Structure 1
Amino acid sequence: MKVKTRFCRWHAVASWTWDAHDDACGICRMAFDGCCPDCKMPGDDCPLIWGACNHAFHLHCILKWVNSQSPRPQCPMCRREWKYRA
């Protein structure tokens, strides 16, 4: 007895987005789905970083911002003292 098998084709499509309240970085104004001006490709090399105030920025952008600020860096969006979200 021969058993016939059928193969169904399945084409999956997936997408991802960052779970940020904004669509773009408040420092470089580039889309979060892309990457900051210092990176060539979006992804793990250019993750988002959230502050305690819930504003999100590209890692490279916020690091430059914090390093250029006085001893007490502030969020570029709301001017609260910058603290990384735990």
Structure 2
Amino acid sequence: MKVNIFLTWDAQDETCGICRMAFDGCCPDCKLPGDDCPLIWGACNHAFHLHCILKWVNSQTSQAHCPMCRREWQFKG
């Protein structure tokens, strides 16, 4: 049996798990959406605004874990 799976993702339907702002907008640190507020994916496939995840992993309480699944945070490369 052959199975074809197609995954699609629409940033307009998603929000950042840290700031809860829409991905097609910008994080609370930015004034305008765009290149200064890119989306960043972790090795666990969770996505966040760049500024949000940088603050999160550098905070003492996060212990550098993904805020969604608690795996050690690694940028997807």
TMscore range, shorter length: 0.7 to 0.9
Q: CA RMSD in A?
A: 2.0
Query: Tell me, which stretches of 5 or more residues in structure 1 are unaligned?
Result: 1-17
Displacement over 2 Å in runs of 4+:
69-72
Aligned to 2:4: none
Q: Which of 67, 74, 80 in structure 1 is aligned with 2:65?
A: 74
Query: Tell me, which stretches of 5 or more residues in structure 2 are unaligned?
Result: 1-8
Q: How far, CA to CA, are the matches of 1:61 and 1:33 in structure 2?
A: 14
The one-letter amino acid paired with 2:16 is C
Trace 1:30-49 onto structure 2 (pairs within 5 A): 30-49=21-40
Aligned to 1:6: none
Give the number of equivalent residue pairs.
68
Query: What secondary structure is seen at the aligned counterpart in 2 of 1:49?
Result: strand
Query: What secondary structure is seen at the aligned counterpart in 2 of 1:57?
Result: strand
Q: How far, CA to CA, are the matches of 2:50 and 2:18 in structure 1?
A: 11
Aligned to 1:24: 15
TM-score (norm 1): 0.72
TM-score (norm 2): 0.80
